[in-house]
A and B are shown apart, each in its own frame.
Chain A
Amino acid sequence: MNEAAVDITGLVKSYPGSESPAVAGIDLRVKAGAFFGLLGPNGAGKTTLISMMCGLLRPDAGSLRMAGMDIAARPNEVKQRIGVVPQDIALYPTLTARENLAYFGGMLGLSGARLRERVNWALETARLAQYAGVRVEVLSGGLKRRLSLVIGFIHEPEILLLDEPTVGIDPHSRLFIYESLRAMNAAGMTIIYTSHYMEEVEGLCREIAIIDQGRIIARGSLDDILAGGAGTGAVEIRSGEALPDGTLERITRLPGVRDVERSGKLLRLASDSPMDALPGVLALLRRDGVKVLSLSHGAANLEEVFLTLTGRGLRE
């Protein structure tokens, strides 16, 4: 389980007419069996990276090995060992759920009894058995997503690449997708999951890379990344009365305080070291006659980490 499922070095990809490259020199190594999150805002280069990983795009420079094989040298063997769940639903609307599964299963090299067995398994796994004979065009968006998802792993790939697979679906289907992916990962499948929804990545992935403007700007385990961004942790102080003149300015000058925001009787501190800065802040408030009603310290989340790293929000 220690060998790399994905091994990327110096990967570059530019589109004609674009001023900056979509992928600008990415190095990335993902261990086999990982549940890896690729987080970034729209246009960060996630889809381009995934497209190169599944052989849809040829890199301008760099090397890309999937499941231990160079995709440029052995594209079909790599494609046989990976599964892809694209951003689009990517189904044939006039075919039934079963026909879609059978067709794509066939294109993935399954045939005969094995194909029939895997189609039935996929229908059961996606809880679509009762819709097996229904044309996809009449299924709901959530059911279509489930079908699209199981097509990605009907052939039991070693690595599953998912490009924002939960866009525009209901919470029930989203939950189903999360459960399925956890189960697949628990069974040993390496999962690369891209999203610009930080909650998804936080909830699913044990390892994360944050990508922005074609570069990886942070990577590691979820705990490492959040810990690395601990400085962004915010301290919120609710006071009984409005702050006297000058108090806010004096707090800003205290050691360890990076920034202060006031919203009515709520004071929000950004600190590189909240535990060190807090005693001084509380002493100053007491001295200025400000009664503290409540105090809370929230750990940083990915949104805040991203904000700190790029100066922009994930959804901008």
Chain B
Amino acid sequence: MRFGVVVFPGTWSDCDFHYVISEVLHQPVKYVWHRDRELADFDCLVLPGGFSYGDYLRAGAVAGRSPVVEALPAFVAGGGVVLGSCNGFQILCEAGLLPGALMRNECLQYRCQSTHLLVENAETVFTRATRPGQVLAMPISHGEGKYHVDAETLAALRRRNQIVFRYCTPEGQVTRAANPNGSLDNIAGVVNEEGTVLGLMPHPERAAESALGGTDGLVIFHSLLGSLVEDGSFLKR
């Protein structure tokens, strides 16, 4: 599977994703500069964490209007998949490729901590290797991760099964105490209607080696690779 890791000015999880994809998963991977529009070489694009353009206006706002992001709808329409983590999720929401928006954490402070995620939808290309109700441990590191959508959109997200991950206790209970940022309905990650674009606030690349505290993040990559091997379902090109 050919991965591209997108680099915006101010991105900092780019090297971490690159390392995990090449050194842990042994998959081909290249960096993609934010001014590039030519994406034909890739099957999966990763929008990593960081503070693109300093997040000075709003997290992800400026990057959400960059050339590479403008090229994403065509990339997805052509069978590509997109994974946005942390700032990548914020960018995808700002660009309108995912519903909702990410606001300042309810505690008004940055939070770097481990979280547990309940898998709500195990049918996406990003979660096929999980089972529904499975709990994954992945850290977060953000100041603006409080997910918000209006009531109507929330209902639609539920109806279409677009909510993929919710913050939960290690035992899988979705509680207020397990919600690190005040996200609506404990939402940690969502997909688009087609299930080809995933955004999540946690960092799967930081949960990819046991020496660093866990490997639950790899399940997202294993799902992607498995989908490719099994039926090439998202590779329509």
**Chains A and B come from one and the same complex:** no
